[in-house]
Amino acid sequence: MAGRAVTFRTRFAPSPTGPLHLGHAYSAILAHGRARAAGGEFLLRMEDTDLERCRPEWEAQIVDDLTWLGMTWDGPIQRQSDRLADYAARLDPVAVRGLLYPCSCTRADIRAALSAPQEGVAFAVYPGVCRTRPMESRQPGDALRLNLAAALDAIGPDVTFTETGPSHAGTHHIDRATALRQIGDVVLSRKGEEIVAYFLASAFDDADQGISHVIRGEDLFDFTPVQVILQRLLGLPTPTYHHHTLIRDDHGKRLAKRDDARAIAKYRAEGATPQDIRRMVGL
């Protein structure tokens, strides 16, 4: 990969917690096709930070299915599980700047603190119970949270990213009030020190792997502002984002890992060809 200036580099980043299904195949085929058409690079990354749910067998199956679909990737497969200590260490400067705090709240604590119904809150935003705790008070079982208001002050008001996907195309400006209302003080590192949040590990990887274009499902669009805020805070570049529409089941529900009925392996076993899969996902 080194030695050649590449202006288009994308990746497919599955979590090996189950079989590759039609939805993943669509994402991978789209990203792979764009990279090849642009004379760029396509990287494969395993997002296997969930050590309990990720399995080497699922990774092997994913690799086998992608190969069967005719995909090749540039460079070796990168695994997040190899980089856990590195991610955690890279949070230190942010902690030193006073932007992180230890949190001992359980989900039940958070629910209780949020029990007064809040109009217009899309998902549970942390009410800030532990926000005034200094880092020195961190106990082994504590999570680390980002003080979002302080982080937004640190990065300044001009936070934008470009989206080219069909549902949200355009330049998105991350507005302070909206971010505080919709994102809040996210957990960056769970208890046990070295397990960092998916969206943080992924932001580090996209930067380290020189990803210019992130192509992924629309279900991840809502994570993008958090990732962009973290990129600014950590001095990482912001790629261009493309969130594609989701492949849905017959009832209109998005496919999940547990939808084994739509697993590529099952279609393969039934005699489908890679062209059949492309047709099924509308390509």
Angle between helix axes 224-234 and 148-155 (nearest 10 degrees) is 60
The secondary structure of 82-138 as a DSSP string is GSHHHHHHTTHHHHHTT-EEEE---HHHHHHHT-S--TT--S-----TTTT--GGG-
Is the CB of residue 283 less than 8 Å from the CB of residue 29?
A: yes
Give me the least distance between CB of 95 and ligand GLU, in Å please: 24
Q: Which of 61, 147, 202, 238 binds ligand GLU (CB under 6 A)?
A: 202
Residues near 104 by Cβ (< 8 Å), separated by ≥ 6? 130, 139, 141, 142, 143
Spatial separation of the C-alpha atoms in residues 231 and 229, rounded to whole Å: 5
- Work out whether 15 is an interface residue with ligand GLU (CB under 6 A): yes
Binding piece for ligand GLU, criterion CB under 6 A, among 10-18, 50-58, 114-122, 274-282: 10-18
Q: Among residues 45 and 232, whose Cβ is nearest to ligand GLU?
A: 45
Is the CB of residue 58 less than 8 Å from the CB of residue 51?
A: no
Spatial separation of the C-alpha atoms in residues 18 and 6, rounded to whole Å: 32
Q: Which of 145, 213, 216, 262 binds ligand GLU (CB under 6 A)?
A: 216
Nearest to 151, CA basis, from 124, 186, 120: 186
Q: Which of 10, 14, 61, 159 binds ligand GLU (CB under 6 A)?
A: 14
- Work out whether 59 is an interface residue with ligand GLU (CB under 6 A): no
Give me the least distance between CB of 233 and ligand GLU, in Å please: 18
Is the CB of residue 66 less than 8 Å from the CB of residue 98?
A: no
- Helix (H, G, I), strand (E, B), or coil: what is residue 201? helix
Binding piece for ligand GLU, criterion CB under 6 A, among 12-20, 59-67, 120-128, 245-253: 12-20
- Work out whether 80 is an interface residue with ligand GLU (CB under 6 A): no
- Work out whether 242 is an interface residue with ligand GLU (CB under 6 A): no
- Work out whether 189 is an interface residue with ligand GLU (CB under 6 A): no
- Work out whether 47 is an interface residue with ligand GLU (CB under 6 A): yes
- Work out whether 220 is an interface residue with ligand GLU (CB under 6 A): yes
Give me the least distance between CB of 119 and ligand GLU, in Å please: 30
- Work out whether 228 is an interface residue with ligand GLU (CB under 6 A): no
Q: Where along the sequence are the contacts to ligand GLU (CB under 6 A)?
A: 13-15, 47, 202, 216, 220
